[in-house]
A and B are shown apart, each in its own frame.
Chain A
Amino acid sequence: MRRLALCLGLALWAAVPAAAQQTGTVAGRVVDGTTGEPVATAAVRVAGTVLLTIADDSGRFELRGVPPGRRRLWVERIGYAPRELEISVGAGARAELEIALEPRAVALGSVVVAATKRELSARDAPVSVAVLEDDELRLRVPATVADAVAYAPSVQFVGENINIRGSSGYSRGTGTRVLFLLDGVPANAGDSGGINWDIVPLTEVSRVEVVKGAGSALYGTSALGGVVNVVTAEPPERPITRVRLRGGFYDDPPQSEWIWANQTLGYYSAEASHGRHLGPLGVWLRGGWGTDDGFRENGDLERMNAALRLRLGGAADTLSLFGSWAREDYGAPLVWCTRGQCDDPNGLAFQPLRVPDDARDDRTRSDKGRIHLTHRRRWSGPLSSFERLSFQRNDWESDFGDQLVWAVADRYGGELRLGWQTASWLFLTLGAEGAYTDIESNLFQGVGEEPSDTDYDIRELAVFAQGELGLGSWVTLTAGVRTDIWRARGDTLADPSTSELSPRLGLVIAPDALTRVRASVGRGFRAPSASELYTATRVAGFEVERNPSLQPEQSWAGEVGIQRLLTSWLLLDVAGFYYDFEDLIEGDTLFSEGAIKIRFQNLAKARVAGLEALARMSLFRERLQGHIGYTFLDTEDKSTGEPLAYRPEHLLTASGTLLFRGVEIGVDYRYASAFERVQVFTDTRLDALVPMRELDVGLAYRLGRQTLRFMVDNALNYAYTTIERNLQPIRRYTAALELEF
């Protein structure tokens, strides 16, 4: 591995003199071919090189260092047909262009950052990326970003765990194999490593990027199975005020024997935001409140959040600040009621909408606050830089009646990164990153142990380098490597530490503007979270044993994919992928003296192989749009030969939207085959494993900038679980009014 890093460094060094050769500049404006209006965020790339840029809000772009001669220019933007132009570039000359794009609705050309830490078209990424744009995010009237991400192909939520291509399974809220980024800044919780989706308000999200596959070569720990990057919206040039009112109610349960409440259970929320420029300073301010009775006993929730986004400077030199705070207060039953645990006149084996009598008052309060400051600068030469500082606090407590458990985790982070266009065929990304997490929790105290003054902290330090090389006129090679040093401190006898080297190699072949072939192979790792290492507690019938000798889990991941625009209305993307895991951290469950004991262990060598196919369509002059995505997963715990727990074999998402005279009708269907294996409750009579079938139907009416939406979620009122003894939400009806001034 070290030899690979050295070779990469020498290759990059050798490339530097090439930057001095005589080159030209291509600049211009991208406009809508129908209206003549500027088109922002179009990706403009010189074929056969790694020169690319993203058009600004006025559609302007500029590419320097273009080799002289006849060149092909590719221009892409979501909602428009990709365009290929032949241009002539003179040495030392400047070519000025106006490029008109014809509207077309097949989703193509979304800009992503998370795949390579550099803005580029999702099609040019060497790994599979799903992008949810702002319209898609709001279409289904979601309550949080997670509700919207659940519609992305190859994504399934198992409990609160996001599961990309079957990498995660279910880890009981501790640890996730997906790295959560907010504007490119890591935002996983410092104690559990989990994701708090409510930390970012949905109304100010510009897009969500879901990068599939191991991303540790750029991001280090947690990016074992993928990366989710939530990109917040830039403050608007003109003052905008938005109000979103949302309300709805739950239907009766699908089985009359399960009815538990004699009143209608509803939910309401209100959000307001205002964005404007105050001189050179762009501002977004936002606040929201929501309450939900819940569809099951003790399932109520109250949520508040506030966020602030500031931006100073233009495209060449930008200082941004994002701050947010969110509070949730909710009932926290861990499992439903089985016979004898609550008064059930029907005498059933379980009541999925009721909870045990002793869990009726269990509650959790969770506060999340974060602030991050980023600075981007495009220097006059071939250099660009990015610096960031971040702080995040996760502060929560759960009251289980006879026991109060709590944790406070402060995570400080920083990153320095340089982008260096050394030549038209080579773009370098170099960076260093560090984080320090300080954790206090009575979960680490141990059953029957006296409180101690032990300090728990985690330190992380990393450097990384990535080169993007244009090889000939068709091929782009991406090679990167990152080394991480990670150390946890909290138990003087067995504090774990590790140093990890994570290389990745990617290849994109682009024979024409319509086709991309991609391949990548990379190594990923995830260091155990503090919760997995040190938790030692007994709550609500579950007992967790600490295991401070846990080691990081590791993977090699590879994929090969092809994407092609087959006709003007059909885009097809097919990929095969393979993960090979070592030292997988899984909660080993055993029943002892009637209690469920969980101990996190480096148990398994495992593999996940799969196939993914996605078709996007746009028919009848873009009035009917949709996609069908299918994922096949074949998983194996190599030590037992059994399938991995909490992974479906088949995943299907289908979505269609019909637009007609301001009315939009949307239908979504998500299917996941029943898990072949779960870990805790395995009595198939009491805990039947059933598939997930979720049908959602929506209707929206737009009048100018105002939108009225109706939505029926789980229209089939289908009863299923993703983790044992936790019913997923039953049918519910939602209305939302979105006002913009």
Chain B
Amino acid sequence: MLAFLAACADGLEPVPFQGVSGILTYWTEPDSASTDWIRLAAYPELPQTELELLGFLAYSDTLPRQGPTAPYVVPLEPGRYEWLVVVWKERGNDNLLEALRAAGWYSADAVVFGAPASFLVAADSETAGIDVIADFERMKTIAEVLEALP
């Protein structure tokens, strides 16, 4: 009976991480008192509208408010991602159009607001080394982000 039951043992098994990881570098640090949270969000397409921008599908856990650096991970479905952005939210403001700012995004030339760079996530694997720089003194509003993106 033991053998029969053991053969039926279809329990949980280790699952490899699937997504993107890297280091967030704090070029400048945010004002801790006014910070609700900081996260990284990934987008398969470059958002063209406020609605697309606010439609978070994949994001990291909240990240530290102080640097100089912090590791991050974002679990993702396999595929190509066009934009990985550092999102800051103002404390006490629930109007997301006003409360959210972009503090930097992933770019091939490793600058805060350079040209967005894409990356690939393969099935059952981690795309590592996608490092991002954030400058919390030069954050962009949603309108400024939409203007800056191609």
Contact = CB atoms under 8 A, between A and B. Distances in A.
Given A339-B19, A339-B75, A340-B72, A347 B126 contact: yes
Nearest to A591: B56
A494 interface: no
Given A339-B73, A339-B75, A340-B72, A593 B13 contact: no
Nearest to B71: A340
Contacts of B19: 339
B18 A349 contact: yes
Interface stretch (A454-462, A495-503, A712-720): A712-720
Given A594-B39, A686-B75, A349 B17 contact: yes
A654 B2 CA distance: 13
Nearest to A352: B12
Contacts of B89: 593
Contacts of A695: 2, 5
Interface stretch (B43-51, B59-67, B134-142): B59-67
A349 B13 CA distance: 11
Q: Which of B8, B14, B92 has the most CB of A within 10 A?
A: B14
B10 interface: yes
A675 to B, nearest CB: 14
A260 B67 CA distance: 28
B132 to A, nearest CB: 14
Q: Which of B10, B12, B126 has the most CB of A within 10 A?
A: B12
Contact of B5 (A338, A349, A716): A716
Nearest to A718: B11
B33 interface: no
A258 to B, nearest CB: 7
Interface string A649-675: 000000000000000000101000000
Interface residues of A, number: 34
Contacts, number: 78
A255 interface: yes
Given A340-B72, A349-B18, A721 B12 contact: yes
A621 interface: no
Interface in B3-40: 5-6, 8-19, 21, 36-37, 39
Contacts of B61: 340-341, 594
A329 B17 CA distance: 34
Contact of A349 (B8, B9, B15): B15
A349 B73 CA distance: 10
Contacts of B21: 339-340
A255 B6 contact: no
A162 to B, nearest CB: 23
A690 interface: yes
B40 to A, nearest CB: 10
A360 to B, nearest CB: 15
B14 A693 contact: no
Contacts of A718: 9, 11
A610 interface: no
Interface of A is mostly: loop
A691 interface: yes
Q: Which of B5, B11, B62, B96 has the most CB of A within 10 A?
A: B11
Nearest to A674: B10
A292 to B, nearest CB: 22
B11 A349 contact: no
A688 B12 contact: yes
Contact of A715 (B2, B12, B37, B126): B2
Interface string A402-414: 0000000000000
Nearest to B89: A593
Contacts of A669: 5
Nearest to A697: B2
A594 B11 contact: no
Contacts of B14: 255, 257-258, 346, 348
Contacts of A715: 2
A238 interface: no
B37 A593 contact: yes
A470 B132 CA distance: 80
A349 B12 CA distance: 12
Interface string A167-202: 000000000000000000000000000000000000
Q: Which of B15, B71, B89 has the most CB of A within 10 A?
A: B15
A655 B15 CA distance: 34
Interface string B99-114: 0000000000000000
A254 interface: yes
A371 interface: no
Nearest to B94: A593
B85 to A, nearest CB: 14
A347 B11 contact: no
A720 B8 CA distance: 13
Q: Which of A340, A685, A721, A727 has the most CB of B within 10 A?
A: A340
A379 B101 CA distance: 78
Nearest to B6: A716
Contacts of A716: 2, 5-6, 9
Contacts of B37: 593-594
Contacts of B15: 348-350, 685-686, 688
A717 to B, nearest CB: 8
Interface string B58-93: 011110000000011101000000000000010010
B16 A349 contact: yes
Q: Which of B18, B36, B75 has the most CB of A within 10 A?
A: B75
Nearest to A448: B92
Nearest to B72: A340
Nearest to A694: B5
Contacts of B2: 695, 715-716
B12 A594 contact: no
A693 B8 contact: yes
A481 B30 CA distance: 64
B13 A255 contact: yes
Contact of A685 (B6, B18, B62, B73): B18
Contacts of B11: 254, 690, 693, 718-720
A136 to B, nearest CB: 21
Contacts of B9: 693, 716, 718
Contacts of B59: 594
28 contacts: A255-B13, A258-B14, A338-B75, A339-B19, A339-B21, A340-B60, A347-B16, A348-B15, A349-B75, A352-B12, A448-B92, A593-B37, A593-B89, A594-B56, A594-B59, A594-B61, A669-B5, A683-B75, A688-B15, A690-B10, A690-B12, A693-B9, A693-B11, A695-B2, A715-B2, A716-B5, A720-B12, A727-B12
Closest 4 pairs between A and B when the two form their complex, measured CB to CB: A340-B73, A719-B11, A719-B12, A339-B17
Interface of B: 1-2, 5-6, 8-19, 21, 36-37, 39, 56, 59-62, 71-73, 75, 89, 92, 96, 126
Given A254-B11, A338-B75, A340-B60, 19 more contacts: A255-B13, A339-B21, A340-B21, A340-B73, A347-B126, A352-B12, A593-B36, A594-B59, A667-B1, A669-B5, A685-B15, A688-B15, A695-B2, A695-B5, A718-B9, A719-B12, A720-B11, A720-B12, A721-B12
